[in-house]
Copies of this chain bind each other. A is one copy, B any other.
Amino acid sequence: MEIIKPRTLSGFMELLPDKQAQFERMLEILRRTYASYGFAALDTPVIEDARILLAKGGGETEKQIYRFTKGDSDLALRFDLTVPLAKYVALHANELAFPFRRYQISKVYRGERAQRGRFREFYQADIDIIGDGKLDILNEAEIPAIIYKVFRGFGLSRFRIRVNNRKILSGFYAMLGLAEKSGDIMRTVDKLDKIGADKVEAILMEDCGLDAVQAGEILRFIAISGTNDQVLAGLESYAGRNDLFDQGLAELKAVTANLAAFGVPEENFAVDLTIARGLDYYTGTVYETTLLDHPEVGSVCSGGRYDNLAGYYTERQLPGVGISIGLTRLFYVLDEQGLLNPALPGAPADALVLPMTDDPGPAIALAETLRGAGLRVQLYGEKKKFKQKIAYADKLGVPFAVLLGEDEIAEGKCSVKNMRTGEQVKLSAADAAEHIRAAIACDVPVILEK
């Protein structure tokens, strides 16, 4: 038979079991944390009607989309989880309770040019809160507070959630008589981190057509920095000149105050006037999240407030606020930077039961007893020499091997071997379970910062 060389497509992450175990732990933390805030799990199809998925149309995204036909159907793979959410909410609006809070942790597809650390299939881990007509500002503090919980749950502390409000920006540009150019200006200012102030100034003047005074005002404005109180105080000096600005400032103050009430320490969130998010549909609060020791990675978690989620699919006004973690990329970066905790168990089992007799019956029973005590237990059924069995336990990386020979069976015990120390003790099944559980029972974080 002709052999076809196996390969996985480039831009598609496929992990070895130990790495996958670490990724699974992150998924579990995400699910648990999102659920603890009362978000409902949602699972939408990977494939949607292309006409629906691309209702918004145009732009960079469309080129990247996996689109194809099957029979008469014009189909596409979802490229984010927001458009499917919009479809879902519009479709089921009468059956949902608003505010509708959902989380979805799923793969999305973008046929980007393959490059290191860029993925064509990647997980997004999203939460959104959708209101019917209205949505209280409190939700805009809760969303980043949940992200704070998630990141702390991963073991990260060196991160900062940066918060801004587009009404402040729009209002400020209006003060300068630049209301109509505010979209272009925001997209330019959004690049500040990447290209620096000089280039931003140049683009504002050359491409956006601002004069030197206007560009100077904008650069002075986005240079307002310091503690959150200092930034808010700096903004106060602009107050009273534009309603939208004032409204945005009030919202930003509320979000800042409530974030503190949620227990998010000031070192993990910052009012930052430079962020705007390049997407037109954000209308109020916007978020970006950076790893303090790896600013080059850019934002690993972004989102914001929008006034109308599903305008393409329904007349109903559905404002919302949401945020998305680019999980595959985050995991890739953490791994690349050596931040995944080596103490995090990567083995598929806590114990490997090795039957040393021909009849596997007693070993089967022992393994079941250990599982009943909550352990992950693999029963090794292969007829191999003892040395090979131990070599397998080593390669698998299991912390314990449990040996069961004639002697142990006669005594009603088993021999528990600690694979790291080599120490071996003879114990009853119940004591063995306790012994192993005590040794592995430590809630090791996924990420270990240096």
Given contacts A38-B376, A96-B17, A262-B364, A47 and B24 within 8 Å (CB-CB):
no
- What is the size, in residues, of chain A's interface with B at 8 Å between Cβ atoms? 100
Q: Which residues does chain B contribute within 8 Å of A378, judged by CB atoms?
A: 37-38, 101
Closest CB-CB distance, A118 to chain B, in whole Å? 15
Q: How far is the CB of A88 from chain B (nearest CB, A)?
A: 7
Oligomer copy total: 2
Q: Please, which residue of chain B has its CB at the minimum distance from the CB of A360?
A: B138
| Complex CA–CA separation, A21 to B49 (angstroms) | 25
Q: Which residue of B lies closest to A109 (CB)?
A: B47
Give bound CA distance, A36 to B102, whole Å: 29
In the complex, the chain B residue whose C-beta lies closest to that of A54 is B4
- Count chain B CB atoms within 10 A of each CB in A24, A71, A348 and give the residue with the most: A348
User: Which chain A residues numbered 128 to 165 have a C-beta less than 8 Å away from chain B?
Assistant: 131, 134-139, 142
Complex CA distance for A383 and B23, rounded to whole angstroms = 39
| Complexed CA–CA distance, A7 and B12 (Å) | 29
Query: When chains A and B are docked, how far (Å) is the Cα of A311 from the Cα of B55?
Result: 45
Bound form: Cα–Cα A142–B263 in Å: 48
Min CB gap A274→B, angstroms: 28
- The yes or no answer to A349 lying at the interface (CB within 8 A) is yes
A364 touches B261 (CB 8 A): yes
A296: CB under 8 A from chain B?
no
**CB pair A382 B24 closer than 8 Å:** no
Q: Are B6 and A314 in contact (CB under 8 A)?
A: yes
CB distance from A204 to the nearest CB of B (A): 31
Q: Does A43 contact B (CB under 8 A)?
A: yes
Contact A35–B142 (Cβ < 8 Å) = no
Interface membership of A381, Cβ < 8 A = yes
In the complex, whether A368 has a CB less than 8 A from a CB of chain B is: yes
Can you name the residue of chain B whose Cβ is closest to the Cβ of A383?
A: B136
Is A434 part of the binding interface, using a Cβ–Cβ cutoff of 8 Å?
Answer: no
Which A68-110 residues sit within 8 Å CB-CB of chain B?
Answer: 68-71, 73, 75, 86-88, 90-92, 95-99, 101-102, 107, 109
Task: Chain B residues near A24: list those with CB within 8 A.
Answer: 41
Can you list 17 A-B pairs, Cβ within 8 angstroms, ordered by A? Answer: A6-B91, A8-B45, A9-B47, A20-B41, A36-B376, A37-B376, A37-B378, A37-B379, A38-B348, A38-B377, A45-B121, A66-B68, A97-B392, A101-B378, A134-B382, A135-B382, A137-B381
